[in-house]
């Protein structure tokens, strides 16, 4: 066991918070069985008290520690996709704290695939409540440095597991109240899940229609502090020209084959190319938004293709942007 994991275990068992890496985004972790520790997550993030957090566990062997009346499809999904970027919403056991569930009769469970956090969970033995390690509603962190920039000395330890490989949050599937529902697209694609289950999932874009509160379903979420607008490239170029003429600094975030290339167009105007591949795009998205945030007056992002492979990216962008063309 490394010294970093030993220190993390000591802090978590003492009711403190630790930043942890996952394959999706970095999480802000606390002992899920300790309501006072979980309350520290909400206080540090500025998160609404009724907004549930996902409990991270080492694997499917712990499912029945937190959930009851677990359907066969849940076991099937856990067997195939865990450890991995899939969260299952299940009926909670009575002992699960309201601080974790937002007072609902359900709990979200996931087994992250990152080896550092997997080892931490094995050694910890219980579950870790761990929403994304950022201020509520802000762009999620995909490196340890992002977490340090977000919280500074207020967070005693961030385990550095390198850049996140998936880059957007987990897929959330509800398996309560009848037919399974896709609540949030993410690191496991909808078609892969449907292929395994043998039927189509209901898909609820808004929390109000899903009937369940879950992480990342609010209309405004994942947002940079600089206004973010979405649109077609031709529209964005016109908007950039207008704003630049008005002495506003604009960043054009365009779809292209050149990753992380940044070129000056004219004073106060920049272009940054994001990958044309949906998986590479997802991995780069949050880091790109964070890099350009508050360096410009306006972020103009080219809308990606509207195909199933881009579903998770579109979900995040629609919640992050304040204007869509």
How far is C-alpha 33 from the chain's CA centre? Answer: 22
Q: What average pLDDT does this structure show over 47-69?
A: 94
Q: Give the residues across from 109 on adjacent strands.
A: 55, 88
Instruction: Please give the pLDDT value at position 179.
Output: 83
The model's pTM: 0.92
Largest CA distance in the chain: 61
On whether the CB atoms of residues 127 and 57 are closer than 8 A, the answer is yes
Q: Can you tell me the distance from the alpha carbon of 274 to that of 256, in angstroms, rounded to the nearest whole number? A: 6
Q: What average pLDDT does this structure show over 96-113?
A: 96
* 203 pLDDT tier (thresholds 50, 70, 90): confident
Residue 307: how many other CB atoms lie within 10 Å: 9
208-251 confidence digits (pLDDT tens)? 455 666 665 666 678 899 999 999 999 999 999 999 888 899 99
| Residue 75 CB-density burial (10 A; 0-12 exposed, 13-18 middle, 19+ buried) | middle
Residues of the chain with pLDDT > 90, as a percent, come to 82
* 261 pLDDT tier (thresholds 50, 70, 90): very low
3-class secondary-structure state, position 303: coil
Measure the CA angle with vertex 162, ends 289 and 220; round to 5°: 30
Sorted by where each starts, the structural domains of the chain and their CATH numbers stand as 3-210 (3.90.870.10), 228-324 (3.40.50.300)
């Amino acid at each position: 066991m490394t010294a970093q994991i030993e220190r993390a275990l000591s802090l978590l068992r003492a009711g403190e918070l630790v930043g942890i890496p996952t394959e999706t985004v970095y999480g802000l972790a606390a002992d899920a069985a300790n309501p006072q520790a979980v309350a520290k997550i909400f206080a540090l993030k500025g998160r609404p008290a009724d907004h549930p957090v996902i409990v991270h566990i080492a694997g499917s062997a712990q499912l029945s520690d937190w959930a009851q009346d677990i359907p066969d499809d849940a076991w099937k999904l856990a067997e195939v996709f865990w450890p991995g970027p899939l969260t299952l919403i299940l009926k909670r056991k009575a002992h699960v704290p309201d601080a974790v569930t937002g007072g609902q009769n359900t709990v979200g469970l996931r087994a992250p695939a990152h080896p550092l956090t997997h080892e931490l969970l094995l050694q910890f033995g219980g579950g870790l409540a761990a929403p994304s390690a950022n201020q509520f509603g802000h762009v999620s962190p995909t490196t340890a440095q992002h977490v340090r920039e977000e919280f500074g000395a207020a967070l005693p330890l961030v385990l550095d597991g390198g850049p996140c490989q998936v880059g957007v949050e987990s897929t959330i599937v509800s398996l309560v109240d009848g037919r399974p529902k896709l609540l949030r697209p993410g690191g496991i694609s909808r078609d892969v899940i449907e292929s395994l289950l043998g039927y189509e999932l209901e898909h609820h874009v808004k929390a109000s229609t899903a009937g369940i509160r879950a992480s990342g379903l609010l209309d405004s979420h994942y947002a940079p502090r600089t206004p973010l607008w979405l649109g077609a490239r031709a529209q964005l170029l016109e908007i950039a020209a207008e704003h630049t003429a008005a002495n506003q600094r604009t960043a054009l975030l365009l779809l292209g084959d050149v990753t992380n290339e940044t070129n000056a167009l004219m004073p106060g105007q920049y272009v940054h190319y994001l990958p044309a591949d949906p998986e590479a795009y997802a991995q780069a998205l949050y880091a790109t938004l964070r890099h350009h945030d508050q360096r410009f007056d306006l972020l103009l992002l080219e809308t990606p293709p509207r195909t199933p492979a881009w579903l998770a990216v579109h979900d995040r962008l629609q919640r992050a942007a304040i204007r869509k063309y």
